[in-house]
């Protein structure tokens, strides 16, 4: 049986490690969620679930499950760092430009320096 080849790519997955000068936003999961809600409204993304865990030092991990995929964050205030991944897929349109805009909005929100920036075309 011959294998079919497809030009289709489900979406762009952007993985970031960011350095943040102040720890306040790295310990405020509520502010992160509020900012994320504004991003979802701005870009027309649909949340289907949200989960978080706040650690003893108020660092947090959070996952926003989207109809289009997900946004996840893990913070390390003791190191002034966070990891963030943004993945948006859509079978009807290319969401790669939107992924880059969303990622840049988070970089701006955290006033962060990019330590690692990886893009994976799925």
Active site residues: 69, 74, 89
Show Cβ contacts of residue 91 under 8 Å, excluding neighbours closer than 6 positions.
Answer: 8, 10
Burial 70-85 (b: 16+ CB within 10 A, else e): bbbbbbbbeebbbbbb
CA distance 35 to 90: 23
Q: Are 50 and 63 in contact (CB under 8 A)?
A: yes
CA distance 53 to 32: 13
CA distance 50 to 66: 9
């Amino acid at each position: 049986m011959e294998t079919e080849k497809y030009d289709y790519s489900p979406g762009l997955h952007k993985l970031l490690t960011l350095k943040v000068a102040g720890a306040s936003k790295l310990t405020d999961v509520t502010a992160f969620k509020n900012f994320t809600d504004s991003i979802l409204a701005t870009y027309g993304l649909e949340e289907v679930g949200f989960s978080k865990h706040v650690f003893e030092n108020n660092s947090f991990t959070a996952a926003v499950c989207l109809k289009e995929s997900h946004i996840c964050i893990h913070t390390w205030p003791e190191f002034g760092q966070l990891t963030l991944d943004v993945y948006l897929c859509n079978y009807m349109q290319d969401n790669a430009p939107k992924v880059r805009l969303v990622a840049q909005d988070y970089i701006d929100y955290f006033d962060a320096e990019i330590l690692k920036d990886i893009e994976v075309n799925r």
